[in-house]
Chain A
Amino acid sequence: MKKLLKIFLSVLLLCAIALLLKNEFARLLTKNSPYGIQTLISKTASAENLFVGSSMFRQGIDIFALEEKSPGTSWILAYNGNQPVWEKIILESLLNNNVKIKTLFLDMYAYSVVVPPKVSDERLFLHTDLKTKKEFWNILKQTGNASLQELFQMFVTSNNEILWTWPLNKKLTDNRYLRGGNTAFSPGSTDSLIRSLPPVTIDDFSFRKEQKNALLEIFALCKKHNVNLVLIETPKYIEIATDSNYLQVMTEYIELAKANRVEFLISESTANQMQQKDSSFNYIERMIPFNSDDPESFQDRIHLSSKGRKIYTEKILKFFK
């Protein structure tokens, strides 16, 4: 039993040391990756077009098309289910590290603003230092979403899989990305397949105060640092694009942008609904037409396929021309 106890305590001590090192220094490993905050900070220090958002940006923006047809360097910082509270911290972190951003494109992801702050992509902890992690934790505490489970996930178990398989994993994943954009082929789907996927389950579709405040802080940060800000709604499959709850959240999102004089680009169904409600404003001018009922352009309800990605990015680029 004594031997067992000795092993137990030794393992505990070694784990504690490994976790301390991981939480502060693991981010340095990601400096040479073709995605993530650290690479942007260390490699470029400037981005003509920076897309900060959720997986919809990773799946929905064609980095090759951007590189080819728009001037300067483009970057995509996409984390699954990314919420404004985290996007604000990411932006702060970039600006504090003197990254020069000309235009910031922020993902208008309706489902990310109706949920309380939570960490939906643990890679945020791999790409940040201990101080930023603490900031995440404080936000969770302030909003009453901090639990022992969250604490354990954030500081103990997050990214361990990536870290211990690092050399192999890096080789296998790095060639799928270019400046944060997905370069791998994503097949399209069919209507029946998309509809058979588990639905998005959200109980309350009201805009969360914490997320709204974070958006206001992002607007202020951009003004302060002379960064052009454009909010972008990526295409959703017809089932979601025409959903009344979704459109209600988008209405509020747009009202917030208008009230703060922030540029926005929206989808066809959202623009049509807004125009019906308020004819005094030209929403159609800010609309990026996209066929939301073509299942081949989608992987699932919210992510674009390779085909959809190419079409959509070209339409955005045309809009800027």
Chain B
Amino acid sequence: MPFSIYLFLVFCFFVLALFYAVPKKARPLILLFSSIAFYGLCDVRFLALLAIEISFTFYLGKKIEANLAQNKAKKFLFLGILFVLTILGFFKYFNFFVEQFSFSFKSILLPLGISYYSFKAISYLIDIYKQKRSSEPSFTFYALYISFFPHLICGPIVRSETITEPLKKGIAYNPELFKQGFLLLVSGLFKKVVIADRIGTYINTIFATPEAYPSFALLLALLLFALQLYCDFGGYSEIAVGFTKMFGIPCNDNFLRPYFALNIRDFWRRWHISLSSWLRDYVYIPLGGNRLGKKRQHFNTLVTFIACGIWHGSALHFILWGLWHGVFNTLTPRKDPQLFKKPVKILAFVLTFSIVLFGWLLFKIDSAPKLLQFLSHLISDFSINVSTISNSLLPFTYSNTCIAHFLTTLAFVFILFSQEYLQEKGKDKEYLFFTIQLFCVFLFCQTGNSPFLYANF
């Protein structure tokens, strides 16, 4: 069954009602069975793979803990990481090698959410080895951590304690947490079904045949792609975190107004926080972090960002995208950008956004000739006049409604960034924006089966 946001919402509210209807002790079991049912409904073919990965890493977690005093723990940790990465690597990169070396194998499907649950399992094993936590005594709690259905498709990649600790304490209804969750849910829906799904068709149309459109349309499509990625993934993350909170489990945000970043390092503190902190804790710091001198620190940064690119996909353009961010990360001065004066801040914002925007071009276009063609058309033929503007707006709907759709999109972008700007300034008008966003969700949501972009990673 294809993953649809609306079916997901129906499923979540059904489980939520069931969750609070049963006694506290039974609630983790409700969540576990719901998670299994959810994965089965989405893609039953890989349910067994998920079960094997959960069981084996649970067993290895016990083994690592039992052997901490002797030196065998490292072997079990190595075995666990190898096991998880082999499965992940096989499913994620098999098609890439088949294509690259023209092997005559059929391409294989990517199990849903494998990149997310694999990283969760690895962090659990490493945390036990580093004695940051003890192995989880309850198989139910561990299985729930790996398969927790709001986080299964697109993360966030939370640490095991986030899920297991509240479960151990027992989950009661927490009105404040529930309210926070509901606010996030509406905000996430606004981003996903009102903004991201609205602009998807335009972006796909322009990127499919950029040469057929004026260069202004290319710039517009690139800007909208940056917006779409954020609203699609950030929106889903808010929905997932929102439901987590509504289930009574505290959970950190996965995005923190990333396009307000003032340098690339700042951007990665705000974008896909659960992945960037995972890479920091389990790749960058184990490589030596900043403890082994400047050169080694730069090398570690580049390796971490290449790993980030590889996590996103097997194609070379993802590695280039990772490298692009890695290079600018090493070039970023250490000074806190919030201390800059206002004109410098504006300059830093523009520069950072431009770097991120070019990065998204590397992320989106999968071949060098296509990228060069796009760039040359964008730069050499650039002009703004009535004709280029009208021909650039036409692909929104291919009718006289295109202007209305464009103006509506602009209004939504204004609402989104006004809220974020006020949040940056520490003024959170949560009820005002909740009301506006709710209106927009009811009246302007895009129906249909738009998949989540980050579910493919």
Confirm or deny: A173 has a beta carbon within 8 angstroms of a beta carbon on chain B: yes
Q: State which residues 2-26 of A face B: CB under 8 Å.
A: 3-4, 7-8, 11-12, 14-15, 18-19
Query: In the bound complex, do residue A157 and residue B447 qualify as a contact, i.e. CB atoms below 8 Å apart?
Result: yes
Q: Taking CB as reference atom, which chain B residue is nearest A177?
A: B400
Cα separation A168 to B404 with both chains bound (whole Å): 9
Q: Taking CB as reference atom, which chain A residue is nearest B213?
A: A193
Cα separation A18 to B440 with both chains bound (whole Å): 13
Query: In the bound complex, do residue A80 and residue B447 qualify as a contact, i.e. CB atoms below 8 Å apart?
Result: no
Contact with A along B390-433 (1 / 0, CB 8 A): 11000000111101110110000000000000000000000100
Query: In the bound complex, do residue B438 and residue A11 qualify as a contact, i.e. CB atoms below 8 Å apart?
Result: yes
Residues of B within 8 A of A122 (CB): 401
- Tell me which of A8, A80, A168 contacts B407 (CB under 8 A): A168
Query: In the bound complex, do residue B399 and residue A80 qualify as a contact, i.e. CB atoms below 8 Å apart?
Result: yes
Contact with A along B203-230 (1 / 0, CB 8 A): 0000011011000000000000000000
A257 CB to closest chain B CB, in angstroms?
Answer: 28
A252 CB to closest chain B CB, in angstroms?
Answer: 28
Cα separation A118 to B134 with both chains bound (whole Å): 58
Query: In the bound complex, do residue A169 and residue B209 qualify as a contact, i.e. CB atoms below 8 Å apart?
Result: no
Range, interface on chain A? 35 or more
Query: In the bound complex, do residue A15 and residue B443 qualify as a contact, i.e. CB atoms below 8 Å apart?
Result: yes
A243 CB to closest chain B CB, in angstroms?
Answer: 20
Residues of B within 8 A of A35 (CB): 400
Main secondary structure of the interface of A (DSSP, over half): helix
Confirm or deny: A278 has a beta carbon within 8 angstroms of a beta carbon on chain B: no
Query: In the bound complex, do residue A196 and residue B211 qualify as a contact, i.e. CB atoms below 8 Å apart?
Result: yes
Cα separation A35 to B182 with both chains bound (whole Å): 44
Confirm or deny: A149 has a beta carbon within 8 angstroms of a beta carbon on chain B: yes
With contacts A152-B447, A161-B401, A165-B407 taken as known, whether A196 is within 8 angstroms of B209 at the C-beta atoms is yes
Cα separation A149 to B435 with both chains bound (whole Å): 24
Contact with B along A112-156 (1 / 0, CB 8 A): 000000000111000000000000000000000000010011001
Query: In the bound complex, do residue B212 and residue A161 qualify as a contact, i.e. CB atoms below 8 Å apart?
Result: no
Confirm or deny: B370 has a beta carbon within 8 angstroms of a beta carbon on chain A: no
Confirm or deny: A281 has a beta carbon within 8 angstroms of a beta carbon on chain B: no
Q: Taking CB as reference atom, which chain B residue is nearest A163?
A: B404
Residues of B within 8 A of A320 (CB): none
- Residues of A with Cβ closer than 8 Å to B? 1, 3-4, 7-8, 11-12, 14-15, 18-19, 35, 55, 80, 121-123, 149, 152-153, 156-157, 159-162, 164-165, 168-169, 172-173, 176-177, 184-185, 187, 189, 193, 196-198
Could you show 20 A-B contacts with beta carbons less than 8 Å apart?
A1-B179, A4-B183, A7-B438, A11-B435, A11-B442, A12-B442, A15-B439, A18-B443, A80-B398, A80-B399, A121-B399, A123-B401, A149-B447, A159-B401, A160-B443, A161-B407, A165-B403, A165-B408, A187-B391, A189-B212
- Residues of B with Cβ closer than 8 Å to A? 175, 178-179, 182-183, 208-209, 211-212, 387, 390-391, 398-401, 403-405, 407-408, 431, 434-435, 438-439, 442-448
Instruction: State the 6 A-B residue pairs at the shortest beta-carbon distance, nearest first.
Output: A161-B404, A161-B408, A162-B404, A173-B400, A169-B404, A15-B442
Beyond the given A157-B445, A165-B403, please list 14 additional residue pairs across the A-B interface where CB-CB is below 8 A.
A1-B182, A3-B431, A11-B439, A18-B443, A55-B399, A123-B399, A161-B401, A164-B408, A169-B403, A169-B407, A184-B390, A187-B391, A193-B211, A197-B209
